[in-house]
Structure 1
């Protein structure tokens, strides 16, 4: 049997190649890094690039946010940055962090830490440390516990006392100390570990995954706001399907996103060998494949949650069938409730829940051509979400029957063509009544008030039903409605 595992020589070669590439990417930032290192050296202090910045430099994905650590205390760091940075802020100074901006780079410099945790919250008792080793061992994962010392002459020294490079080469997420100790100190690290699976494409070490499964309940010590941030980063990563599976397998999802594992209970209505959970992950992946530009969190959340109403609406029909009537209505309410509990913004909650609510409406189109009125309402109800709704509906086609899949896509192509035609003729993106509020008040002799609003709403509904009207037609229709109402 051939052993396909990389040899020690191959691993060493790859390690050297990655470090060389990282050194080059850091030298490209020499105009920022070298003067900064020189300023620290002049004051007798060390400066290290550290954590995710080193990891990303090695992986060739270094961004514009740079993390540093130093033996200098925060007040000294502020002095050193004083006339060097374009802007400084000290909101995190009580935690030893001073941030600044220089030449488009955001730098965050934190004094060595040697914190103690109380085992109840995730808030440490902040204690400044005296050594880089002590600072690195308290970090979340070994791949984030590497450092590069920056010297005044522009040279660099790679420092890896915990062998984080071995984990990086293996694509593994593991903790510096025991995972139980690490997660007891800060349970958010469990969710961060799963998030790195999504962002980096790595896997959890067996001991790390086992510890998360055993300690999943500890995540409830973490505020909803912090959980929300991690979940948003997770779903916007390059490998969110793998990460979501881990959330479910470890039991974290039961604590923070229970509607997702809850979908495992429901076999889909086509009686295929998949459940609604697997269907939803497939829809998420297909929605991602339809994205243009960067990750679209609204589309991704809607794709993941679009069928969460199915377990609550499952009904066994005569003849052995299964139905989920009105699951889109129930699902929209459930999505709104969960996203609110996670403290998402009102705009995010509204957008995702509206997409969940609308995702099934298209399926009535194939039963007979919609009237222009139905198409107008589809566009109007989607509003600025129309492009995302197009993608969600297309992604929701997961049938293995190629003929049926092709027919669904062709039917939606037809709907999109009609939308384009009506948009060109009627400016559907800005559907408004043919008379504005002032014209309504003048015609009916009304002062501002709820009756004007009712008249405006009636005219908008009429506009959706029959399309644009001449002013005289609109006035006649309004007068007729007013007479009947009176």
Structure 2
């Protein structure tokens, strides 16, 4: 394995300079699980300046972006390596970022780590294994537990509560009772953590192998209420007079379905799809209404849901492009329903494809994931309807370039035919021609020019 020679080389260099070096944390955990990747974490008693002297001339690349936290990054033979000075960081109970202090020994460094499964080390180049808190035992038992008392551990860094849920989602592990109780009691402490750090942990959780387990932990402990209160808000009261689907359980099922469909098609974890699945019904609590016959409706919940999704993702500091993609999927997730009644024209299909744009493959999976009915006949009918829609999209796409629906005349042709300069008139004409393209399909050049002249005359624009 190529990790061993590189790690041993690095260990010998540190030893020659009089310093310790240990493979540590997630790297040891993943090695024991048989899933060690190309990212390696080391700790050392060397300070950053000392580390730089040791790796200079050996590393193929060096970066110092984590220097203020005691970390120097290097690249060697395709391995991305981070070397961090023994840590003794903590929070002061008020600030939103850690107070970084250097430690002096391996034991103290390991005792400061989040969980026992991440508090193991292998010395280099001697390969001595250190596990003072029973990490191997917990790894075998698939248990998440803190090395120190969980109250102290979470007091040092409240983000660790969210990390516990994240590791549960990634590894399919269970949180042991004392740690779980501390998460319940200390959930409000998460407010001390910046939105960006919470967001990054949440992305890792939702992208995990079993995000539903992590999401349930967030809701059950009250952690979700600190940054995503809409999730617990999906637990709508159900009474015998106004029956409706359990929106919370339905949502978790939709997320699980999306994960299953990703894997079936060989997709990597797709955060945008999974977040859309999580948020697709977020507008239901605000739009719930009970009709005179006792039925429950959620009219326009996709519109309200899209607005709430945008606001929540903005508060969590997501990039605008990611927020826009998720929000658009939420807004479109109901568009398919009604297709099976035979009301869709080719024009409606074109608009479906055009409105989804590059998100169409994700919209396909989101819509299919949203079918959670236990009625097998209804589920089979919905699946058949969507199969028919996808086949119809493929047929029309074979005849037309649906991926890039554009007017049959471009802006230059519009300006030439109407004799107008660039400006609002060109934009309005372009939009009109695009609507015609969506409604009727491709027009030949003569028909497109005739339609443009008809539009211009109706608008009072004299064409040359």
Shorter-chain TM-score bucket reads: over 0.9
Corresponding residue for residue 99 of structure 1: 73
d(CA) in 1 for partners of 2:211, 2:239: 22
Residues 137 and 176 in structure 1, CA contact (< 8 A), matched pair in contact too: yes
Aligned 1:66-85 pairs, distance under 5 A: 66-85=40-59
Alpha-carbon displacement from aligned partner over 1:253-276 (angstroms, at most 9, x marks no partner) = 111111111110155999778510
Distance in structure 2 (CA, Å) of the matches to 1:274 and 1:60: 41
1:234 matched to 2:184: no
Q: Secondary structure at the match of 2:147?
A: coil
Distance 1:220 1:465, change over 3 A: same
CA, structure 1 residues 92+270, in 2 after alignment: closer, same or farther (shift >3 Å)? farther
1:349 deviates by 0.6
Partner of 1:21: none
* Cα 1:222/1:309, change in 2 over 3 Å: same
Q: Does 1:276 align with 2:238?
A: no
**Against the structure 1 CA distance between its residues 267 and 483, is the aligned structure 2 distance closer, same or farther, given a 3 Å change threshold?**
farther
Matches within 5 A, 1:206-245: 206-245=177-216
> What are the Cα deviations for residues 391-444 of structure 1, in whole angstroms up to 9, with x where unaligned?
111111111111111111111111111100110101110110000001111111
Q: Deviations over 1:60-93 (max 9, x none)?
A: 1111110001111211110110001000011222
Partner of 2:105: 131
Show the counterpart of 1:253: 224
Cα offset, 1:172, TM superposition: 1.0
The answer to whether the Cα contact below 8 Å between 1:47 and 1:68 also exists between their aligned partners in 2 is yes
TM-score normalised per structure 2: 0.96
Counterparts of 1:317 and 1:274, CA distance in 2:
16
1:425 corresponds to which residue?
399
Q: Distance in 2 between matches of 1:179 and 1:273?
A: 40
Contact 1:267 1:276 in 2 (8 A): no
Name the CA distance, whole Å, in 2 between partners of 1:171 and 1:407. Answer: 41
| Contact 2:64 2:73 (8 Å CA) reproduced | yes
Which of 357, 369, 372 aligns to 2:346? It is 372
Alignment counterpart, residue 288 of structure 2, candidates 279, 296, 314 = 314
Q: Do the aligned partners of residues 122 and 56 (structure 1) sit closer, same or farther apart at CA in structure 2, a change above 3 Å counting?
A: farther
Question: Which consecutive unaligned segments of at least 5 residues does structure 2 have?
Answer: none
What is the deviation of 1:293?
2.3
- Mapped partners of 2:190, 2:89: distance in 1: 20
Deviation at 1:194, TM superposition (A): 0.7
Aligned to 1:16: none
Contact 2:353–2:403 (8 Å) recurs in 1: yes
2:146 corresponds in structure 1 to 175
SS in 2 for 1:184: helix
TM-score normalised to structure 1 length: 0.92
Match of 1:356 among 309, 327, 330: 330
- The CA deviation string for residues 131-184 of structure 1, in whole angstroms up to 9 with x for no partner, is 111111111111111000111xxx411101111112111111111111111111
CA deviations on 1:209-256 (whole Å, 9 max, x unpaired) are: 111111111111111111110111000101110110010000011111
Structure 1 residue 141 corresponds to structure 2 residue 115: yes
Please give the secondary structure, in 1, of the residue aligned with 2:40. strand
Match of 1:18 in 2: none
Whether the 8 Å contact between 2:97 and 2:193 is mirrored in structure 1 is: no
Q: SS at the partner of 2:233?
A: helix
Label 1:177 to 1:317 Cα distance change in 2 as closer, same or farther (>3 A). Answer: same
C-alpha separation in 2, matches of 1:392 and 1:124: 39
The answer to whether residue 174 in structure 2 is matched with residue 203 in structure 1 is yes
Per-residue CA distance 1:180-211 (angstroms, 9 max, x = gap) = 11111111111011100001111111111111
Q: Deviations over 1:420-472 (max 9, x none)?
A: 01101011101100000011111111110011101000000011001000111
Distance in 1 (alpha carbons) for counterparts of 2:239 and 2:60: 57
1:63 partnered with 2:37: yes
Q: Which moved more, 1:85-94 or 1:189-198?
A: 85-94
In structure 2, the CA distance between the partners of 1:269 and 1:106, relative to structure 1 (3 Å rule), is farther
Task: Please state if 1:115 is matched with 2:86.
Answer: no
Does the CA contact (< 8 Å) of 1:97 and 1:109 recur in 2?
A: yes
- Give the Cα–Cα distance (whole angstroms) in 1 for the partners of residues 60 and 430 of structure 2: 52
- Residue 32 of structure 1 corresponds to 6
Partner of residue 478, structure 1: 452
Q: 2:357, 2:245 → 1: CA distance? A: 33
- Structure 1 unaligned blocks of 5 or more: 1-26
Pair 1:159-2:133 in alignment: no
* Distance in 1 of aligned mates of 2:127 and 2:244: 55
Aligned to 1:467: 441
In 1, Cα distance between equivalents of 2:233 and 2:93: 30
In 2, the alpha carbon distance for the partners of 1:464 and 1:392 equals: 24
Q: CA RMSD in A?
A: 1.6
Partner of 1:329: 303
Q: Is the 8 A contact 1:71 1:111 kept in 2?
A: yes
